[in-house]
């Protein structure tokens, strides 16, 4: 049964991933900005990602294995990335990309099997 204590780390991982996706890819919308500004801005955004990811993993380790936490993070990354690509970068997502991401997510289910 999922409890608040089990859901909180997942929610924190989702939020941390939003920050990290912006840190890694958000600057691509502003390619005319100097690279040093992109690096500094990305680093500043990544600080907030760490402020969420580290406690999420610490709290989550009470309920999930490290492999499960990492797997959740990777699947969350793909979901956040698709939304980011479409809504922030205005890129289309192809069927091949969706199939590839779905196959990764399907493979991740084995980590949670007993």
Inter-residue long-range contacts of 2-9, CB under 8 Å, 24+ positions, other chains counted: 5/59, 5/62, 5/63, 6/63, 6/64, 8/56, 8/59, 9/56, 9/57, 9/59, 9/60, 9/63, 9/64, 9/69
> What residue numbers bound the domain in which 52 lies?
4-112
pLDDT at 114 over 90: no
pLDDT at 89: 95
This prediction has a pTM of 0.88
Domain tally, the chain: 1
pLDDT at 29: 94
């Amino acid at each position: 049964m999922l409890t608040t204590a089990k859901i909180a780390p997942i929610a924190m991982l989702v939020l941390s991933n939003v920050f990290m996706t912006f840190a890694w890819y958000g600057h691509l919308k502003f390619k005319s900005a100097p690279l040093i500004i992109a690096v500094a801005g990305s680093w500043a955004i990544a600080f907030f990602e760490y402020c969420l990811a580290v406690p999420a993993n610490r709290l989550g380790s009470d309920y999930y294995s490290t492999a499960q936490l990492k797997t959740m993070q990777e699947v969350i990354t793909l979901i956040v990335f698709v939304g980011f690509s479409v809504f922030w970068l205005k890129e289309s997502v192809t069927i091949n990309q969706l199939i590839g991401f779905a196959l990764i997510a399907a493979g991740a289910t084995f980590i949670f099997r007993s």
